[in-house]
Chains A and B, each alone.
Chain A
Amino acid sequence: MKRSAAARAALAVAVLVPVVLVAAVVGLSTGAGSLSLRDALQGREPDATVLFRLRVPRVLLAAEVGAALSVAGVALQALLRNPLADPFVFGLSGGAAIGTAIVTVASGTAVGAAAASAASFAGLLPTQLAAVAGAMAAALLVFTLGRARGNLDPARALLVGVVFNSFASALVLSVEAVLRPDQMQAVSLWLAGSLGYEAMPLLTGAGIALLLPVLVLLALAGRMNLLALGDEGASALGVDVGRTRLFAFFAASAAVGIAVAFTGLVGFVGLIVPHAVRLLTGPDHRVVLPASALGGAAFLVLADALARVLFRGLGAEPPVGAVTAIVGAPLFVLLMRSRE
């Protein structure tokens, strides 16, 4: 049955908005301990603090990061015409990891400590900044080395990204040898992808910062549809393929960089959510992009809720990046088979 773009968009909204709301309720009502919603809403402590200053910011963070990674995943899959592309194949994860490791090492030295305190005085967090800078530097490197005859060559860019990621993880492993055990623990938790408790102003800032790349990608959605026809086909229809790729590539990288700065490498979200959403909405990027933002937000909020209850009896919590992969891998296989 063929549906119009508008009908598919309406379907996506009808399905995904309730899913996001349910995810938010689940995210707010699960945690390390039991919470009386009534006490929290009446301002009784400690329930009010747990709800408003721990769970609300955490659900927001999960939603922002899930949306950013999913939207970036859609864009990169379209750019590379490769369904396996995910936000981390371009070496972005490796670049961010190098940035974080360098800051962690440097914070042990006098110069690094001085720089960190200067940055935090200005309201900036050195680790997050380094992650964004590392991701963007890696994107630039892959974009430069992945070009052939002046245009981004998808296969070449993918290869450069894969090679760079291996190089980066080797570098991080070597650096870990000189870290203190507690620093090493923090770096490996970050590499696994974990959600923390960020302050509301920072979350608002991240949300606003994410809007820009997402809007750029939405504006390019129509042209991404035409890229599916191949570079020549798209050019024949008036798409400036080179510029579309350039803008979409850096917008996606920025979104991933910001997400990664807060949570480290949460895998699988950017791969599975776009595929799942396409089953619902069809391939039109004008619908897939915003729908993936909703789907990604819901997916990561739910995965984080699961992470928080999984080992609750032990007072421990697996990194959410592990949960997204544990849940995501079988789900991905199911999706693939249901498509056949």
Chain B
Amino acid sequence: MIVCLALLLAAGPRQHLGPQVPAEVRRVVTLAPSLSEIVLALGAQDRLVGVTRFDDDPRAQKIPRVGGYNDPQPEAVLGLHPDLIIAEPAPANRGPVEAVARLGVPVETFPLSSVEDIENAITGIAQLLGVPARGKAVRDQIEQARRDARASALSKPRTRALLVFGLDPLVVAGPRGFAGELLEDAGGENAAGASDLPFFRLSVEAAVRAGPEVIVLCGIEPPAGRAPIAGLEKVRVAPLRSTALLHPGPRIPEALADLAVALGR
């Protein structure tokens, strides 16, 4: 988890590496599950030829795996003869990604830290794939879902919540990252307080002082035989229904619904 947090923290602007992207892209390899989901949401399933071992979308199940987001294997990538690689910029995958670009495959990287980043990635990938209208439709769906969530959140007082992404050590979502933004949309109040980081480490003492009404476990199993956070044994613990909030991509409407359920609203 920390590794993919580091990835989010290090996210720079959109970047291009290697030769020019061909006008008509036929074979795409994605190096993060959320990027695969963007390609799938744009209706380009038949052009997706390689994904990471972390991809869990049923439509990507039969597509060859090329490693993880931190350790993509250049040989596996090149073996698929892609004409475009889409990655999230990160220190950990920089070596292999640059190697692939040097060997003649165009690479486009998109940061996915905030909702705005995600929407820009959807627009950018839609352009690369030659389906800008689909991109706009997906963005509109996201914006509509956010408006609806905010409207229905008004009916009740906000629920103080911690979005927990790691337990050893304790890692929570800050208000500025996409997870924190969606928490606000869904009627939550981020108990972790103000921070510019999308995710950050919180001491257990600070978590107790934050006084959350609900602890939302994001992609982590509740530990066997003990409360997830010591000192907060009486606080309600809610898991997420799906992985939508873990994948900063087109599943934002689903993530908002998951959050509403987890917050008990």
A-side residues, CB < 8 A to B, are 31-33, 46, 49-50, 53-54, 57, 107, 116-117, 119-120, 123-126, 180-182, 184-186, 189-190, 196-199, 308, 314-317
Contact = CB atoms under 8 A, between A and B. Distances in A.
A49 B2 CA distance: 28
A177 to B, nearest CB: 9
B226 A199 contact: yes
A50 B202 contact: no
A126 B4 CA distance: 27
Nearest to B226: A199
19 contacts: A32-B206, A33-B206, A33-B209, A49-B208, A54-B208, A107-B221, A181-B1, A181-B2, A181-B4, A185-B168, A186-B167, A189-B168, A199-B226, A199-B230, A314-B201, A315-B202, A315-B206, A316-B169, A317-B169
A46 B210 CA distance: 9
Contacts of B58: none
A119 B225 CA distance: 9
A214 B39 CA distance: 62
A54 B204 contact: yes
A135 B168 CA distance: 22
B209 A50 contact: yes
Nearest to B70: A181
Interface of B: 1-4, 70, 166-169, 200-206, 208-209, 211, 219-221, 224-226, 230-231
B205 A33 contact: yes
- List the 5 closest A-B pairs by CB distance, nearest first: A32-B203, A197-B230, A120-B224, A182-B1, A120-B225
A181 B203 contact: no
Contacts of B204: 32, 54, 197
Nearest to B207: A32
Contacts of A46: 208-209, 211, 231
Given A125-B224, A181-B3, A189-B169, A33 B203 contact: yes
A101 B244 CA distance: 29
Contacts of A182: 1-2, 166, 219-220
Nearest to A189: B168
B1 A185 contact: yes
